Amino acid sequence: MSTANSTTAIFYAFSANLAIAIAKTGIALWTGSGSLLAEAIHSYADCGNQILLFIGLKRSEKQATRKHPMGFGRESYIWSMMVAIILFSVGGVFSVHEGWGRYNNPQSIDNEAIALVVLIIAVAMESFSLKGAMAAMEVEKGGRSLWQWFRETHSSELMVVVGEDIAALIGLVIAMLTLGLTMFTGNVAYDAIGSILIGVLLIIVAILIGIETHSLLIGETEEDIRSRVQQYLESQPSVIKVLNIWAINHGNAVMLTIKAEFKPEMTVLTAVNEINAMEKQIKTTHKRIKWIFFELDNMD
């Protein structure tokens, strides 16, 4: 996943969410709709989240230093975790609180038709944002399902953008349905329930994003690269057995560690030359692999 694609997805999401947030706020204050206010808060939180994601993406590109010899690739995971926390608290918990308060203390809603029009426009803009994120996602998704990609991706910032956009679209549909029910029945409790449902949705999405980002933070393996490298090594005549392989995501790069048993009659110089040739081929085949640590060992 290139930085350019991630940046584009973040830009699309920020532009759409800022316009939507301003529109939702104005209409929510005018109509008094709780579910629309919850959606406005969600959109503002998303705008802040995209700024954080952009900061994390840029900081992850910093050059390696003596103190941090492997660079700052994992920093994007930290900022994505911050976004998950904000999405949970500002977006989810606040929306549930707002909805619960309106359910227990009903407030009248005016000009519901205008609010519905704004929600329909918001759906169109969120679809535009999601389309941009999905286009960027296709670069690395391949033939995997959306859920499988979500569980396996190393691009935490893109995972957050896609998750937020899907949640936003579902939330907009909930707001439209509950506001529509309020219009037809005159019961404002439906609007309050809509706010609660939107909050619960955001909490679920935040938890899912948090779980996946946490896995990346503590060092998640890149299974596809690991298995392909193992197949390559096992096909080499000098390798008797591959004892262990780690392929750990480090932002957009991968750290590869290999422990293998070579033929015992090989000299040290021959083994070194073989290892150098293998490392060169591995890096040529797998562009994301930046570091390779190769150790010779035996089964004894």
The Cα–Cα gap between 90 and 98 comes to 11
The whole-model pTM stands at 0.81
Q: Where, residue-wise, is CATH 3.30.70.1350 in the chain?
A: 223-296
Q: Residue 5: what pLDDT?
A: 65
The Cα–Cα gap between 256 and 244 comes to 11
Q: What is the DSSP string of 44-76?
A: HHHHHHHHHHHHHHHHTTPPP-SSSTTTTTTHH
Q: Residue 278: what pLDDT?
A: 96
Residues 169-179: tens digit of each pLDDT: 898 899 889 88
The Cα–Cα gap between 209 and 156 comes to 9
Give the CA radius of gyration of the chain.
25
- DSSP H or E segment with residue 97: helix 94-104
Q: Residue 4: what pLDDT?
A: 63
The Cα–Cα gap between 231 and 237 comes to 12
Measured torsion, CA atoms of residues 280, 283, 285, 286, in degrees rounded to the nearest 10: 170
**Beta carbons of 209 and 153 less than 8 angstroms apart:** no
Residues 7-35: tens digit of each pLDDT: 777 887 888 888 888 887 888 888 777 76
Q: Residue 35: what pLDDT?
A: 67
Give the mean pLDDT of the chain: 86
The Cα–Cα gap between 215 and 91 comes to 23
Q: Residue 1: what pLDDT?
A: 45
- The segments of the chain whose pLDDT lies below 50 read 1
CB atoms within 10 A of CB 100: 16
For residue 191, give Cα distances in angstroms to 104, 174, 186, 249. 12, 9, 10, 44
% of residues, the chain, pLDDT over 70: 96
The Cα–Cα gap between 92 and 200 comes to 6
| CATH 3.30.70.1350 is held by the domain 223-296 | yes
Angle between helices 34-59 and 3-31 (to 10 degrees): 160
Q: Which fold has domain 3-217?
A: Alpha-lytic protease prodomain-like (1.20.1510)
- DSSP H or E segment with residue 205: helix 189-217
The Cα–Cα gap between 188 and 109 comes to 7
Q: Where, residue-wise, is CATH 1.20.1510.10 in the chain?
A: 3-217
Strand partners, 116: none
**CB neighbour class for 138 (10 Å; exposed up to 12, middle 13-18, buried from 19):** exposed
